[in-house]
Amino acid sequence: MVCRITFVLFPGFQQLDLAGPMAVFEVARLARPGSYDWRLVAGAPSAVHSSAGVAWPVQGLPRQLGGADLVMVIGGDGVDAACIDTRLIRWLQRAGGSGARIASICSGSLVLAAAGLLDERTATTHWSRERQFAMDYPAVRLQPDRIYVREPAVRGRLPEVWTSAGMTAGIDLCLALLAHDHGEDLAREAARQLVVERRRPGGQSQFSPLLELQRPEGRFAALLDEVRRDLRPDHGVEALAARACMSPRHFARSFRAETGATPAEVVERLRVEAARAALEGGAASVQRVALDCGFGNTERMRRAFVRRLGRPPAAFRRG
């Protein structure tokens, strides 16, 4: 059955926020004809200019919403004006009650929040909009340290909603949507065609001290690479300091000065990210994941997941 997508644009939208997701669904449609179809809509019909100045042909906002299975709001510099476009906001509110799934790319989540579609729900956005989002929409459970977030539908009350972080995170979200709709094989094929990584966990950091550690010149990059390769051993301060040939006190102080986080916080983040990826990839058991990722037991892993991701491990287990 075809999934009919309505991409919602506004003046000043970011082209990559549209082109990336569209490419995912295009590859899927080539591999499996009839799987997806789409249209571009905006408050003002005929053409909408992107932030790069390129005009994209669009249709007006459709009066009848029965023709959309997925409504996806694109982000970009023009998002602030879009958030106070009463016609667009009212249309999105109607879309939220139509039975269609709702999604946003990058800062497009602010428009969903302005429409009230994210109240008391978990969402993410581009890291540069984190402070604005938190101030303007305090009713949303914002998790800015996420690549994408899926909120399941609440039957009869709330639609299924997907939100993503930066531009390329929109591709991650759409690959996850594709896997949800048509299975992992088609998602992997689409990722291969686009030459992108298939599965970056939704909970992976979009912008954090961990990304800084990936720099070759980072003082502790090699040490953290060792931790990533085997999360099971003791990675406490004393053990890490010994491997870095430093006293525990000097190591802890230097580590925090470089990364902005304690060694324990970084190790826990690495374990949570690895565990989430294993669970989303269909790992055999939660117990095995807890042991392989160095938590020792499922209760300790559960507490770390709730602290870092706001949900227990079971919420991320595939199937």
161 contact partners, CB below 8 Å, separation of at least 6: 101, 102, 103, 112, 117, 118, 121, 123, 150, 151
Residues in the chain: 319
Pairing of strands 55-60, 46-49: antiparallel
Least confident of 32-46, 65-79, 138-152, 232-246: 138-152
Q: What is the pLDDT of residue 199?
A: 56
Confidence band for 216, pLDDT divided at 50, 70 and 90: very low
The tens digit of pLDDT for each residue in 259-311 reads 778 899 889 988 988 888 788 767 668 999 999 999 999 999 999 998 887 78
Distance of CA 246 to the CA centre of its chain: 37
> Which domains does the chain possess?
3-194 (3.40.50.880), 209-316 (1.10.10.60)
CA atoms of 141 and 118, how far apart (whole Å) = 8
One-character DSSP codes across 199-264 = ---TTS-SSSHHHHTTSTT-TTHHHHHHHHH--SS--SHHHHHHHTTS-HHHHHHHHHHHHSS-HH
Confidence band for 318, pLDDT divided at 50, 70 and 90: low
Pairing of strands 161-164, 101-104: parallel
The tens digit of pLDDT for each residue in 176-212 reads 899 889 988 898 899 888 887 665 555 455 544 454 4
Q: Which residues pair with 55 in a beta bridge?
A: 49
pLDDT at 158 over 80: yes
166 contact partners, CB below 8 Å, separation of at least 6: 106, 126, 127, 206, 207
- Give percent of the chain with pLDDT exceeding 70: 92
The crossing angle, in degrees rounded to 10, of helices 298-309 and 263-280 is 100
Q: What is the pLDDT of residue 84?
A: 97
